[in-house]
Amino acid sequence: MTLRDLEIFLEVANTKNMSKAGENLHISQPTVSHAIAQIEKEFNVVLFERVSKSLFLSDAGYKLYHSSKKLLRDFEDISLELLNTSLIKIGISEDVPLDLIEKFKRNLENKYDICLKFVLKDSNVLKKLFENNELDCLFLGENLLSSKDDLDFIDLNFVLCTKKENLSLSPHNLKFISWSNSYPIKVLKALKEKYILDTAWESSSLDSVLKLLELGPYFAFLPEIISKNYEIISDINFKKRFILHYKKDKFITKEFKILLNEFKSIKENGLVF
């Protein structure tokens, strides 16, 4: 098993389709199949189970998925250190919509000679890493860190959405997908008054929520900036504030100044993807 095999495995796990994984990695579908088969043969395991036309991770696949992600991140860190690449380490709390931040990361890295590394951990762990100067900055939900080092904030408005074909259904026939770690109490109260909160799925990934919404009579809160392909089904909504923290008394590199300027641009112009 090679690092390339693990990269291919992760792409198949993320896309749930070998052909799509091959397209994304610019390799043939037989090459993808061969890499998966090699891992399965070497360890005598089955990594995927086929449901309809999609592939889903088996128990062994889940174990390899999390281990291989960590291994590839560690390898990337080693490579960055050896290449002396401009690296900025950002602590990300669990309530941040990671998929949106990943897009911001790709946009920034395409424009500048900068590499962003996200560290995803519990907010208390992130605070300790930040205090020990193991992170350059933190991007957290509001109130997760009391600090005078707040640069600025981004407000995201979350709206309740479903697919257009679900509009004819009774609200009681829709099942809720929960993916934000917390909802305001008044929002939960309003939801319970109008809907039966039968939580069908819980996920920490916005991308997973979007895929689940396509599968059936589900509804979920989505950031308004990406809701254009869905129908807003209620006036129930809420805003969530995310704040960037960094130590102003610490030397600020040229690359970090670029990050701060891009962040300010988002505050002024909104997220654009």
Read off the pLDDT of residues 89-118 as tens digits, 9 standing for 90 and up: 899 887 777 777 888 888 888 898 888 888
Question: What's the predicted TM-score (pTM) here?
Answer: 0.57
Nearest alpha carbon to residue 250 among 111, 20, 51, 89? 89
Give me the pLDDT at residue 10, please. 92
Structure tokens at 144: 């997760």
Confidence of residue 82 (pLDDT cuts 50, 70, 90): low
Read off the pLDDT of residues 170-213 as tens digits, 9 standing for 90 and up: 877 888 888 765 677 888 888 888 887 777 787 766 777 888 88
39 contact partners, CB below 8 Å, separation of at least 6: 1, 5, 9, 45, 47, 64
SS3 label, residue 6:
helix
**Exposed/middle/buried for residue 261 (C-beta within 10 Å: 0-12, 13-18, 19+):** exposed
SS3 label, residue 182:
coil
Confidence of residue 8 (pLDDT cuts 50, 70, 90): very high
Give me the pLDDT at residue 122, please. 78
Pairing relationship of beta strands 87-92 and 115-120 according to DSSP bridges: parallel
